[in-house]
Structure 1
Amino acid sequence: MRRNRTARRGLAAVAVALTLGLSLAACGGDSGDKPSPSASASTGDESAAAAADKAALAKVDVSWSDDKAPVVTLPSKPFSVTTPVIEVREPGKGAELKAGQSITIDFVAVSGADGKVAHDTTSTGPEPGTLGKGSVLDGLIGEKVGVRFVLAGPPQQGGTESTVIAGQIVDAKDAPTPAPGVTKAAGEAVPPVAGLPTVTLDANGKPSVTPVSTPAPTTLVAQPLIKGTGPVVTADQTLVVQYSLFLWDGTPVESSWESGQPATFALNAVIPGWTEGLAGQTVGSQVLLVVPPDKGYGASGQGDSIPPNSTLIFVVDILAAS
């Protein structure tokens, strides 16, 4: 799954995921070298540009408070860097942060154009992330829970200024791991329901769908196809899944099966169709989700492959949850 498919909700997700290439609520598809726990996302000998970006980030002033959002003051406006950079401002005192962990982040994001706040999680709640996915956040591996940091990334999508984020890791936990040999749903098959797309599995378990000609439903459908015998999934958990995504007419969009690796993400950081449709299911299940636009990507769509107001079909195998 490309990182901005099922995951990412709100302005914060856009600022963090697109501008900085972070692995918040990572769902696979990440690329690039993994930085070492240092103040820069680059590895090996730093280029002159990376060194200059580190120096620029060091001049960003952050005033921290235990009960309010940090106040970020830029050294100049507009503010921009050419490479993703991260700097620890205050060490944490909790458990050590490790690769593969799911983390929770409190942060404020400001525009490099004018220094105005673009998003503040003190009003929306902390947001999830993942360490060890090749993002600039990997520079915090080896630090401790409670660490406070500031980071910035280069302009994206034709922009001219960076986004600057001041944040704190408030929690971390080990990501779930499927039981040995578990690569797909396993359990009791559930009889298909009339009026829904038909799902066919190949020898490895990868699904394909045969669409129906009837109008798409206007409410969320979460239909188990295989009923697993594991624990019940809750909305605050991190899941490991295999999934495939199709448009309502059966057009394939993307699939974790193509990479050979399942996807891991926080269930409270995905589109509402996933949060609502998978919470209450059991580990080991395969679930058919039919997601109407208001539970998916709405009138804006997503990139070139999900048009505006699309009804989406997901087939999801829940391999693990914690």
Structure 2
Amino acid sequence: MTLAACGSEAKTSTSSSSTPSVAEVATSSVTAPTTASAASSCPTVAPQTAGTPEWTLTGATGSVAVTGSTDTAAPVVKVEAPFSVTETQVHTLKAGDGPVVAPTATVSVCYQGVNGRDGSVFDSSYERGAPAEFSLDGVVPGFQKAIAGQKVGSTVAVAMVPADGYPEGQPAAGIHKGDTLIFAIKILSASS
């Protein structure tokens, strides 16, 4: 399975395998994390003021500035488009104090996905107000690289090359072949 935009029910005919959305992965039969209690919601409101970004990255083209979420506000991802990177970059916005997340853990996260090509949000559990739960071995490589090895409670951002996201694109989510993707992620819980 791979990470895709939520609500993308359509499957692409150019791919030999289907790519379910995070919502589809999150609602499949996975066990609830037991390492820490999962939050029952993700904040849906933008912060009153974005403040100083916790991560600013100049890409091969464009740039991105990320301010992570708080307990009461969703993250802010500002893109100077088109933004692209030549290698996947992960940045810890705020380190958590929970256990380290294993590469194959089942996690509960709040996240926002932004397309570097145009700065549009293509998927967000923050907009839905509910965390997503899935196994890290069932998502795109860039999402796994962002979360595995982090501590529960951490807020991280990742800018991923197309090969770590959707090399052939994800038309239902508005992702074109070659698009760099940015995610702001809050790790709520994890279990092995």
Same fold (TM over 0.5): yes
Whole-Å separation in 1 of the counterparts to 2:16 and 2:81: 36
Which residue is 1:232 aligned to? 100
Please give the per-residue CA displacement for 1:3-40, whole angstroms capped at 9, x wherever unaligned: 669xxxx855x29x59xxxx5xx135xxxxxxxxxxxx
Whole-Å separation in 1 of the counterparts to 2:141 and 2:70: 29
Q: TM-score, normalised by structure 1?
A: 0.45
Mark the CA change 1:193 to 1:199 in structure 2 (over 3 Å): closer, same or farther: closer
3-state secondary structure, aligned to 1:315: strand
User: 1:205: how far off?
Assistant: 2.5
Which residue is 2:6 aligned to? 2
3-state secondary structure, aligned to 1:268: helix
Which residue is 2:175 aligned to? 306
Q: Which runs of 5+ in 1 are unaligned?
A: 29-128, 132-173
Residues 142-291 of structure 1 aligned to structure 2 (within 5 Å): 174-176=31-33, 178-179=36-37, 191-195=54-58, 197-200=64-67, 201=69, 204-212=72-80, 216-248=84-116, 249-291=118-160
User: 1:204: how far off?
Assistant: 2.3
Question: Over the residues paired in the alignment, what is the CA RMSD in angstroms?
Answer: 3.3
Conservation of the 8 A alpha-carbon contact between 1:220 and 1:295:
yes
Q: Which runs of 5+ in 2 are unaligned?
A: 10-14, 44-52
Please give the per-residue CA displacement for 1:179-222, whole angstroms capped at 9, x wherever unaligned: 3767569xxxx953453522234772311211146852111111
User: 1:225: how far off?
Assistant: 0.6
Higher relative contact order (CA 8 A, sep 6+): 2
Whole-Å separation in 1 of the counterparts to 2:114 and 2:106: 23
3-state secondary structure, aligned to 2:126: helix
Q: What is the letter of the counterpart of residue 55 of structure 2?
A: P
Q: What is the letter of the counterpart of residue 128 of structure 2?
A: S
Q: TM-score, normalised by structure 2?
A: 0.71
3-state secondary structure, aligned to 2:182: strand
Larger Rg: 1
Q: What is the letter of the counterpart of residue 188 of structure 2?
A: L
Q: What is the letter of the counterpart of residue 27 of structure 1?
A: A
User: How many pairs are equivalent?
Assistant: 164
